[in-house]
Structure 1
Amino acid sequence: MSDPVVHFDRPAPHVARLRINRPDKRNAIDYDVREQITNHMRTVLGDRDTRALVLGGVGGVFSAGGDVHSMVGLSEMQARERMQHIHVLCRMVAAAGIPVVSAMEGIAAGAAVGLALLGDHIVAGPGTKILFPFLKLGLVPDWGQLLTLPRRVGIARARRILTSGEPVPGEEAQRIGLVDSLAPDAEVMASAIQKAGELAAVPLEAFGRMKRRLNDVSLSLAEELPREEADQAVCLLTDDFSEGFSAFREKRAPNFIGRRKG
């Protein structure tokens, strides 16, 4: 039996990790990769002991993006089915009620960048090269990037990045907010695991509600305030708030791990 194209493991307490395993293709993303990530995520999100997820690739490379060879010769129906399959995973990552950290080692291109932008924290190295090759291929950016990229770097900068097609180095990516933190190239994955371990300690009920509101921003204060009321009315009744208040009163760090969500 051939090796799985996605490796699943648990590199730290309460942290799951998924790594694309196609080193001969620089971890390019095809149907099998998407399907295996999706299936693993269903398992991870259903496991109450898992509180954070790391996405990455094997061999010091995140991913060269979508497998272009798998896109050739499609009918319109097949092209739509391909995008619908992608969007199942997009929605799952964006809606995950646990923090999602991406380790952008080496090369991160196209679809892989879109996958990372749907998560919560991105770690890169100075040698990381982030690429958006869509227009050079005659394609529009996908995986939600026309929404997620401008939210991180602004519309004008996103337009320049996507139009030029030039790689964005890791240090520049951190400067403009495309990635969240920088680590030495050999330590990107370890840094991502460490960050996931830190984020695993957040109160998940409050985090999940915050994440939903950040992903689906209100258009006005009149729309936002009722959402805020609904969320806080739930959070004020949780075990997490009881713990947070006790920690505040006792002047110690709160411990949300092991507490029931909701």
Structure 2
Amino acid sequence: MTVPANPNPVVLLDRPAPHVARLLINRPDKRNAIDHDVRQALTAAIAGIRDDGSVRALVFGGTAGVFSAGGDVPSMLGLDEAGARARMQHVAALCRMVAALRMPVVSAVEGIGAGAAVGLALLGDHIVVGAGTRILFPFLQLGLVPDWGQMLTLPRRVGVREARRILTAGVPVRGEEAQRIGLADVLVADDQVMACAIEKASELARLPMGAFARMKDRLTRVSSSLDFELQREEDDQAVSLTGDEFREGYDAFKNKRPADFIGMPGVKA
């Protein structure tokens, strides 16, 4: 029996550039609010991307010029404690999956980015906003605490003082401010957000993925002491100094050419 394709998928997957996959939340009538079906679709899509050796960078975005209005608030109503815990465990599984990706992750925050969607972006590596982008943290106004890992990821980006301010202010953080305080990495014109995100993902896709993944892991899981960090450093360099990426990098250095980490033997094109 053939199962018909879903004519209205809540998440769209495409390949906008070589070695770059893009996931777009596709609920334009709900301003791309994230519900259970979106989380499940993102989880399934990311699992496939993670295991596809030809993908070296991922872009998150939304359809119709909107990143996402955040969690689908009506779907939160009527939960008992067991239901609330099940919901948060579903969120946590997706958060862990995104954070554990060894490839670069870029978010194109067009229009509105709120709540859960901001948490998704903060789990990645690079955030692009437009001059008219509005980033919202509505948790306290809803009687909720920030989730999707934001009590960890937001202060890491902007500092505790700034995180406290924007979480309690109840007003949008606009694009220019987001870039100024470090919440976003790049500020561009509104109609250039997605193109810039794809360009950045393409740039990051050319990095040595093994070395990038080790660096990303150490930035995410900060060492508790200098001795521990130096041991991790030794472990990583013992692999890197004896690996193909260093051989390619050194040959490029010696011959004064750009390194080609994608074209190395054994790397999927």
Interval of TM-score (by shorter of Structure 1 and Structure 2):
over 0.9
Query: Any unmatched runs of 5+ in structure 1?
Result: none
Match of 2:29 in 1: 24
Match of 1:123 in 2: 128
The question of 1:225 aligning with 2:246 is answered no
Match of 1:165 in 2: 170
- Measured in 1, the distance between the counterparts of 2:68 and 2:7 equals 20
The match for 1:106 among 103, 107, 111 is 111
Task: Report the alpha carbon displacement of residue 182 of structure 1 after superposing the two structures with TM.
Answer: 1.1
Task: Report the alpha carbon displacement of residue 2 of structure 1 after superposing the two structures with TM.
Answer: 3.8
Query: Any unmatched runs of 5+ in structure 2?
Result: 1-5
Match of 1:216 in 2: 221
Give the alignment's TM-score, normalised by structure 2: 0.96
Task: Report the alpha carbon displacement of residue 258 of structure 1 after superposing the two structures with TM.
Answer: 3.6
Task: Report the alpha carbon displacement of residue 117 of structure 1 after superposing the two structures with TM.
Answer: 0.2
- Measured in 2, the distance between the counterparts of 1:61 and 1:154 equals 27
Task: Report the alpha carbon displacement of residue 20 of structure 1 after superposing the two structures with TM.
Answer: 0.2
The question of 1:85 aligning with 2:90 is answered yes
Task: Report the alpha carbon displacement of residue 7 of structure 1 after superposing the two structures with TM.
Answer: 0.4
Task: Report the alpha carbon displacement of residue 252 of structure 1 after superposing the two structures with TM.
Answer: 1.4
Q: Per the alignment, in what secondary structure is the counterpart of residue 203 of structure 2?
A: helix
Match of 1:8 in 2: 13
Match of 1:61 in 2: 66
What is the root-mean-square deviation in Å for CA atoms of aligned residues? 0.9
The match for 2:258 among 237, 243, 253 is 253
- Measured in 2, the distance between the counterparts of 1:250 and 1:258 equals 16
Q: Per the alignment, in what secondary structure is the counterpart of residue 147 of structure 2?
A: coil
Give the alignment's TM-score, normalised by structure 1: 0.98
Task: Report the alpha carbon displacement of residue 219 of structure 1 after superposing the two structures with TM.
Answer: 1.5
- Measured in 1, the distance between the counterparts of 2:243 and 2:171 equals 48
Alignment length (residue pairs): 261
Match of 2:79 in 1: 74
Change (3 A) 1:124 1:235: same
Match of 1:186 in 2: 191
Match of 1:152 in 2: 157
Task: Report the alpha carbon displacement of residue 183 of structure 1 after superposing the two structures with TM.
Answer: 1.4
